[in-house]
Chain A
Amino acid sequence: MSTTALTDPSPTTTTAPTSGATVHPLWVRVMHWINAIAMLTMILSGWQIYNAAPLFDFQFARSLTLGGWLGGGLLWHFAAMWVLVINGLLYVVLGFATGRFRRKLWPISFSAITSDLSQAVRLRLSHDDLDRYNAVQKALYVGVLLVGVVIVASGLAIWKPVQFHVLTALLGGYDAARYVHFAAMSAIVVFAVIHIALAALVPKALRAMIIGR
């Protein structure tokens, strides 16, 4: 990765970018897809682990799980976690360092979210300018980043309830931390469903995340 790729090329004050301008710099695209794959691996292996001792009165279909049995699911989960966490940490560092978070996700206001949300449910919210996120997008992207923090914290709390017992206690104890971890997974799955549905509705958004424009 060259150093020039680290600076978001779109200037801060422009209106709509001319077609051909880079919407997502290379580092964002690479990390997005690494994250997508790591997240999918974590979720499918996590469902395998869940099935060994379900928290609720249901299990995930075997065909939707990774690993074949509990031991396999655990191996995948504790391998993919490194990819997810290292990639995620680098993404957050670069997001702040390059100013991308500030430009794309800030400012974020409650009134803008409610007004954009009411337009969104009436399918009137424009996705035309890929370079600028509407308030609903901002809320979802900030929200899923925060859920990412929760899922890693609750995962650590379940993995190391003795060594990290303070963290586990903060989450309400070992058993409660399992529910927190599950709730965070559910939130990410809901986000992914909306995110993928919208990408399918606005194919150029998907194209921009692949080739940058």
Chain B
Amino acid sequence: MLRIKRLLIPGVDKKLLVRDAARLMPDVSRRRFLAGGASLGALTLLTGCDVVDGDSAEHLLAKVSKFNDAVQAAIFNPNTLAPTFSEKEITRPFPFNAYYSLDEAPTIDGGEWKLEVSGLVQNKKSWTLQELTQLPEVSQITRHVCVEGWSAIGQWSGVRLRDFLELIGADTKANYVWFRCADDYTSPIDMPTALHPQTQMTFKFGGEVLPRAYGYPMKIRIPTKLGFKNPKYVVSMEVTNDYKGGYWEDQGYNSFSGL
């Protein structure tokens, strides 16, 4: 939650002011409280005084973000497919994106690498790259949308995550599939999205072995989620009912982040 602190504007005596303001509100129904929070934020900027730099605003925004998770889960239609594109619409070169530079990206030996499987599954055996790439392959040309706003079209091939979850006897009634990566990146994916027909365990980009820049040996490609919910260099998958957080989610990005 370190980064969330940075979203608030520095200043004076925030807690008292927010508490006083809240007391003045006649009806603390959800909507009015939200209206109050947002207006306090804007008021700060107008007056230059500081009414929102505090745990209250941070807490309120986090609550609204949780509410937005629920709204997005309700909007999510498991049968709605992400638009697909033709080969000539592919963005070249496709951008590399991470919270570090390319030379700091993990270098993984595909022969040594194994995918660990844990949690609510019947078969917890680890999988080698060779075993995984022998499973039926699907391919998609879809748009990757970054939380920053830019987008790029790419071609990803691999195994449908849904097929793999069924193969290992995962409890598909569980809440999340939680991914961990070689760079200590983590991200939770809600089960309906994990079971979406376009959600893919990706081993190829543009028909070639997945390059290191895009997550070798395995990336999870989810065209119904923002890019940061598409983990690269994945080393383990846990089927769980618990919300375990994620690298960006813990810093304040909306957790559902559906498209």
Chain A interface (Cβ < 8 Å from any Cβ of B): 34, 37-38, 40-41, 44, 49-50, 52-53, 66-76, 78-80, 82-83, 86-87, 158, 160-163, 165, 169, 174-175, 178
Contacts and interface: CB of A to CB of B under 8 A. Distances in A.
Contact of B38 (A38, A49, A74): A38
A143 B237 CA distance: 52
B128 interface: no
B70 interface: no
A86 B31 contact: yes
Contacts of B46: 40
Interface residues of B, number: 47
B42 interface: yes
Contacts of B38: 37-38, 41, 76, 79-80, 83
A37 B42 contact: yes
Contacts of B151: 174-175
Interface string B57-90: 0001110110010000001110011110000000
Nearest to B41: A41
A175 B259 CA distance: 14
A47 B148 CA distance: 12
A174 to B, nearest CB: 5
A70 B251 CA distance: 11
A151 B41 CA distance: 21
B65 A78 contact: yes
Interface in B18-53: 31, 34-35, 37-39, 41-43, 45-46
Contacts of A175: 151
